[in-house]
Structure 1
Amino acid sequence: MFKKAFYTNSSGILCSRIFGFIRDLLMANTLGAGIYSDIFFIAFKLPNLFRRIFSEGAFTQSFLPTFINAKRKGLICVCIFMIFFLFLILFSIAVQVFSGFFTKLLAYGFPQTTIELAKPIVAINFWYLSLIFCANFFSSLLQYKNNFWVSAYNTALLNIAMILTLIFAKDKDTYNIVYMLSYGVLIGGVAQILLHCYSLYKLKFFRLFVIGFLDLKIIFTKKEDSKIHILKNDLNSFLKQFFPALIGSSTAQIASFIDTLLASFLAVGSVSYLYYANRIFQLPLALFAIATSTALFPMVAKMIKNNDEKKALHLLKNAFWLLLFSLGICVVGGIVLKNEIIWILFERGKFQRDDTIIVANVFMMYLIGLIPFGIARIFSLWLYSHKRQDIAAKISAISLACGVLFSLILMQKFGVFALAFSSSLSGFVLLILTIKVFGYDKFKNVINSKRLFIILILVLILETLILYFLKHLFNFGGFYGA
């Protein structure tokens, strides 16, 4: 079951990322790395920050254990959905009304003229948050039934919508392209919701929603004490997990937000450099770490509930070695071929050779943290499955604080490169503290395989030699002279 779920998630993420790279290629060609690309990335980052905090991270990790243990699943499902959806609608209205404040909050270093240009773009993009919450809420329900393909493939629809918008708007002036691209984001969000409907119907979740609404109606009209008591217990259980998880699951997103804020004080294009480099970095992280943890979490949570810890640890061990091999190969390949990767993806149109070199080195700084971030993700699932979100939150807060401190110290001398490197350093802090709480003895049992370590080292050495030989032999991009 784990392998099937992993391959489903990986294939879906790969499909989505392929469309995502096509989207980024068109954006680099159309917008380049300048003021207008910075404006869009700022606007698009705000809903994505909250999406990952509310919809994907803290929400999923708190909702699934609550849903698994709930006595009235329809009731708790409907109540949680209504609470979050209404909150996000009100939040989006607030961003619409006070768009200047939120834009300034995200890009404090921008001049006022740029803030004015960015305000309407920020307001439009933020409505995507309500749409993607619905999609991710439905995905969480489908994962309970071990249906992973919808959540794996739905992001591709956002990228397709943005690609079609960029093609349609290619002859417009640059600011209008940014405007139209923002509406393309909303169209993609609607498409993501619609993709879930067939699977929800097939697995009888619409029937569950109806039962939940009827239970809720009974509570408000007849005030049935037993159902009120059940609802209060389930909501308290969810909220008790959610607020600590809100911090614990969002370290990378908050760090990315802070990096963007700090980058707005650096040279023009710095926000874009971070975006392009982080987009490539996110591919192996999503393809392996996120795909693995998404498949692993509902299985581990159910095993923990059934007191089958030994089986859960065995599953965790398989996931660890899968990730270590996969991410290790990606780190070595990415560092050796950093220039060539950015050249082949982005260097065309308004994206020049100087941009390629800068983004390539930022990308390398991010790659240093790929393994610790990926490995920490699966071990943190152990904490969430045991409902220890408060501990995970403390670990993430310490990691985040360290990352910000590293950035403030290093950015004065190393600029945008320091922001990416500091992010990687915070990943090591996150991993070390997570393993400490997980337990050193259990961790030693998970990694206890000298044979696999030796094989991994030999594979990485062989990969390095082959890639160095090939890149100097073919000299793609002309980085090594004639």
Structure 2
Amino acid sequence: MLRSILTVGGWTMVSRVLGFLRDILIAAMLGAGPVADAFFLANRLPNLFRRLFGEGAFNAAFVPGFAGVLASEGPAAARRFAEEALAVMTFWLLGLTVLAEIFMPQIMGLYALGFTDEPEKFALVVELARITFPYMPLICLTALLSGVLNGLDRFAAAAAAPVIYNVVSIGFMLALPPFVPTVGHALSWGVSVSGVAQIVLLYWAVRRAGMSLRLPRPRLTPQMRLLFRRMGPGLLGSGVIQLNLAVDAFISGLLPAGTVSVIYYADRVNQLPLGVIGVAVGTALLPTLSRQVRGGEPGQAVTTLNRAIEFALLLTLPAALALVVAALPIVSVLFGRGAFTPEDAQRAAEALAAYAVGLPAFVLVKVLVPAFFARGDTKAPVWTGTLAVVVNLALNFALMGPLQHMGPPLSSSIAAWFNVVLLAWLLHRRGHLATDAELRRRVPRMLAAGLAMTAVLWMVERTVFAALGGSFGLRWVALALLVSAGLAAYGVAGQLLGGFDLRKAAQAVLRRRRAPAE
């Protein structure tokens, strides 16, 4: 499982780095102004589907089903299963896209409620949303092809696909502005074109894996009815984080101008560890747990879940602490130029610290939910997710007044912890989660190492960073020193305290490098 986590995590890291480059350019060219607000809201809608389907419900329903058919009936039956799913998905996604394009003003009238009092800004949101929405069916079908590859234990191509999204977006943002009304239009066209490029890459990878798919006539066979029954409730169960972020976007549209943008920039920084760790662990964990459950190895499944929790906390605890204590230097260096003002940086840093409070919980949700899906249970995460969304919405309305731009991210963080507690309690009650001695021993030591790292970051930020944080180049040097000092402090403290064993981790990486490439 570690090899698969490293494969997905490595490609996700490349994608996130390119995503940061894209966001740095957006911040410099648009700042936190009205065009930026309009693009971010317009792009939220198809990306909500991307995160739900690509990282959530569809994968959770499709991968166990595909893997089960492959194991029990062979590749030919698995191919038919995937083709039937492809046909049905294509049919209803295209229909949904046509309806969305027609009724986009009404949809955005609900989603971007805070913009309706400004006709020009609202018209821009609708126009950009119509350009970006075709990305939705493209990326959902890409998720299906990714599910086929994941079911075959081939993770590299699916993990690399988001790199194309960022490359195409950057290219369009730099090349297209002279030919379109705004940079927001260039970005929006880049989103949809990247969807075409991703689906081409994944289809090629599926064919190369020996699972060439055709598009038959759509039919709701018994297998498809079961797939969509499992997928429906999973939309909420595995997509709680994304639904909470959608609630944040809705609430931020009601707050002062620029709030949508500063929350977006904060979320982008928070998404680096969340995407690299959470998506990697969740993607690699589901097929492993599914095989162990189906193979009659419940004890091994519990052990696997313990190691996944340990690995997730190993990285997210220090990341969360670092983002809280060093939020302003990180945001200032990444985005603080051009149209992005120091006031924008301060607000985005405060929102980032609020998101960081919930970072371990955001990742743990992605670790715990596959434990339900691997056993065919999509209902339990639904009601826990529903309660979490309700908590998030209530907190948003309660905190948006006194905390302004910090209200939505802090609400999401609290709701994520609420969801983790409920999921863990249910798994423990059913005998699917029992923390072993190694996990109980290591987690407090990881936390202690993280606190030691926090002290080092606080000192470096107020000495070295303050001294070097002048010109553009020196600010990057100062940030590199800050990050390096934090990593070194956490590594040394964790090794000395017994939070982890660097030698074992190095041996695992070396074993992966010696293994045949996927």
Give TM-score, length-normalised by structure 1: 0.91
User: Does 2:83 align with 1:78?
Assistant: yes
Between stretches 414-423 and 445-454, larger displacement belongs to 445-454
Q: Work out the CA distance in 1 between the residues paired with 2:200 and 2:268.
A: 26
Shift of 1:170: 5.3
Shift of 1:98: 1.6
For the aligned residue pairs, the C-alpha RMSD in angstroms reads 2.0
Instruction: Give 2:114's aligned residue.
Output: 109
Instruction: Give 1:401's aligned residue.
Output: 390
Q: Work out the CA distance in 1 between the residues paired with 2:203 and 2:123.
A: 39
Aligned partner of 2:238 among 249, 274, 278: 249
1:163-182 counterparts in 2 under 5 A? 163-169=170-176, 175-182=181-188
Shift of 1:347: 0.4
Which amino acid counterpart does residue 22 of structure 2 have in structure 1? R
Q: Work out the CA distance in 2 between the residues paired with 1:148 and 1:279.
A: 23
Q: Work out the CA distance in 1 between the residues paired with 2:246 and 2:290.
A: 30
Q: Provide the aligned length of Structure 1 versus Structure 2.
A: 460
Q: Work out the CA distance in 2 between the residues paired with 1:198 and 1:240.
A: 29
Instruction: Give 1:422's aligned residue.
Output: 411
Instruction: Give 1:184's aligned residue.
Output: 190
Change (3 A) 1:93 1:447: farther
DSSP 3-state at the match of 1:325: helix
Aligned partner of 1:152 among 155, 159, 163: 159
Q: Work out the CA distance in 2 between the residues paired with 1:457 and 1:51.
A: 33
Shift of 1:143: 0.6
Which amino acid counterpart does residue 35 of structure 1 have in structure 2? P
Shift of 1:313: 1.5
Change (3 A) 1:306 1:419: same
Q: Is the 8 A contact 2:133 2:192 kept in 1?
A: no
Instruction: Give 2:150's aligned residue.
Output: 143
1:290-305 counterparts in 2 under 5 A? 290-305=279-294
Q: Map Cα deviations across residues 356-396 of structure 1 (whole Å, 9 max, x no partner).
A: 00000000000111111211221111111111101111110
Which amino acid counterpart does residue 48 of structure 1 have in structure 2? N
Shift of 1:105: 1.9
Which amino acid counterpart does residue 155 of structure 2 have in structure 1? F
Instruction: Give 2:104's aligned residue.
Output: 99
Q: Is the 8 A contact 1:66 1:237 kept in 2?
A: no
Q: Is the 8 A contact 2:22 2:169 kept in 1?
A: yes
Q: Is the 8 A contact 2:104 2:129 kept in 1?
A: yes
Shift of 1:448: 5.2
Which amino acid counterpart does residue 93 of structure 1 have in structure 2? V
Aligned partner of 1:313 among 302, 327, 331: 302
Instruction: Give 2:420's aligned residue.
Output: 431
Instruction: Give 2:442's aligned residue.
Output: 452
Instruction: Give 1:375's aligned residue.
Output: 364
Q: Work out the CA distance in 1 between the residues paired with 2:178 and 2:463.
A: 39
Change (3 A) 1:61 1:449: closer
Instruction: Give 2:456's aligned residue.
Output: 466
Aligned partner of 2:333 among 340, 344, 347: 344
Instruction: Give 2:209's aligned residue.
Output: 203
DSSP 3-state at the match of 1:439: helix
User: Does 2:31 align with 1:32?
Assistant: yes
Instruction: Give 1:52's aligned residue.
Output: 51
Q: Work out the CA distance in 1 between the residues paired with 2:42 and 2:444.
A: 46
Instruction: Give 1:413's aligned residue.
Output: 402
Q: Is the 8 A contact 2:395 2:411 kept in 1?
A: yes
Q: Work out the CA distance in 2 between the residues paired with 1:242 and 1:249.
A: 10
Q: Is the 8 A contact 1:293 1:377 kept in 2?
A: yes
Query: Identity percentage over the alignment?
Result: 24
Q: Map Cα deviations across residues 251-282 of structure 1 (whole Å, 9 max, x no partner).
A: 11211112111111110001111111011111
Instruction: Give 1:7's aligned residue.
Output: 6
Shift of 1:336: 1.4
Give TM-score, length-normalised by structure 2: 0.85
Shift of 1:442: 5.3
Q: Work out the CA distance in 1 between the residues paired with 2:330 and 2:287.
A: 35
Instruction: Give 2:200's aligned residue.
Output: 194
Between stretches 75-84 and 158-167, larger displacement belongs to 75-84
Between stretches 114-123 and 191-200, larger displacement belongs to 191-200
Q: Map Cα deviations across residues 140-169 of structure 1 (whole Å, 9 max, x no partner).
A: 100111111111111011101111111114
Which amino acid counterpart does residue 354 of structure 1 have in structure 2? E
Shift of 1:171: 5.7
Between stretches 393-402 and 100-109, larger displacement belongs to 100-109
Q: Work out the CA distance in 1 between the residues paired with 2:247 and 2:448.
A: 38
Between stretches 109-118 and 450-459, larger displacement belongs to 450-459
Q: Is the 8 A contact 1:313 1:446 kept in 2?
A: no
